[in-house]
Structure 1
Amino acid sequence: MNYTSCPGRGLSPLVLAASLALASPAFSAIVFTNADLEGTPAAQSTVPTGWELIPHDAPYSLATVSSGVTGDILAADGPSLASGLFGAANSGTTFYAGVHGFISPHTLQEGLQQTVSGFTVGQEYSFSFFQAVVGHTNRRDDAGSWQVYAGGVLVGTTIPTTSTLAWDDPDKATELNWEERIITFTATSESMMLSFLPYDADGDIGAQNGVYMGIDTFSEITAVPEPAAAMLGAFGLLGLMRRRR
């Protein structure tokens, strides 16, 4: 009679641990500089330390003029309460906000980006961030997303978030509808530019119908386990459980 061996059966915890180590190479978590987007609240052409604005001539930007990429750093008290340029950060004291809109004859898209290093080519990675619709006097759409590019290639458009507060609601200073979104991509080089652009998916970006989106609180970037390694890990856990019985 033939039997199929069961991974983990009869193996000591030490052997299982060694097997898992061989099957799952250790990857150090990769971090964004200033992942909490802390800075000095200000409007027009400002980004948190460690980040840069996405120029209008970047091939992945929808902006058609250099003045259409000027994002803002916001806090609960400004920089402009009267215009709606304020809001409670998801974490820390400040966050970044940018417009996707239209002022004839130009499209505006105010994103930010950062070059991140430490990737293994061909490895899949995952990270998360939080998004919220902020709104201001000239951009009052209540739903929006972020387009995410890795090395200039679109790797995701987030599920839209819908605002629960009007653009001028004073409660924005204490609470915005921050929602977490997860992005997964495959590294094509050791260093990659990760870019984030606000996006109004309904297509109506004219006048006050454009969207003003906030972004905050980036997680570490972690390697996604290979399926085979994940399966071996599951078998290893089963083996440990049987060993303890």
Structure 2
Amino acid sequence: MTLVVENLAGGYGKESILHEISFKVDDGELVALVGLNGSGKSTTINHIIGLLSPKKGSITLNGATLQSDSAAYKAQITYVPEQPILYEELTLREHIDVTITAYQLDEELAWQRAERLVKIFRLDNKLNWFPVHFSKGMRQKVMLVMAFITDTPLLIIDEPFIGLDVLAVQDVLQLIAERKAAGGSILLTTHVLDTLAGLADRFVYLKAGKVAATGSTNDFARLVPELHQKGVEYENTIL
């Protein structure tokens, strides 16, 4: 699996936010997309998942593009947004059923995964709950359960740790490690790069809509000293 973003320029309406961004995510690789608020992280993600159309450049996933084969392209992606999006009229159990149907998963195998995931996130006694009863952190866990049920080549997670308790953060890290070990590829934005120590293969640092630095996470302090220092000052929060 290879995601290739090449000379991507785009934004909202006439406003250009991204300026010829290029990077790639290879098979079995975790790439962390980092940058200050407004640097273009979420805008980049929105272009990759097809919510925005590039003004220039290209995005290719395993040879498919949104323009050439939209269905084949989108079928390869699972996306977890920063703000959980749930159907208020559906229970947790029904959200899982919808995910299984949407991704055309084997029902028995998918429910085996789901049962493990709801136990991991301590939601196994809440399968008949509606979203109105969930806290923000619980809603985020529901989104993660649905994401990790799937077996798409590329998993995109926007700020996965916001709103999660300490135990849930560790659970997510373990699931990410398992997905990588199985050959899955992950593109992740985060405010806490230190949390991904030992898991992220590379980082891409965006600044004012441009790639300002890229490299291994071990090189982050050297390549992005100003942001690393802010992370030290603000309780290891990188962004």
Shorter-chain TM-score bucket reads under 0.3
TM-score (normalizing by structure 2)? 0.26
Higher strand share: 1
Higher helix share: 2
TM-score (normalizing by structure 1)? 0.25
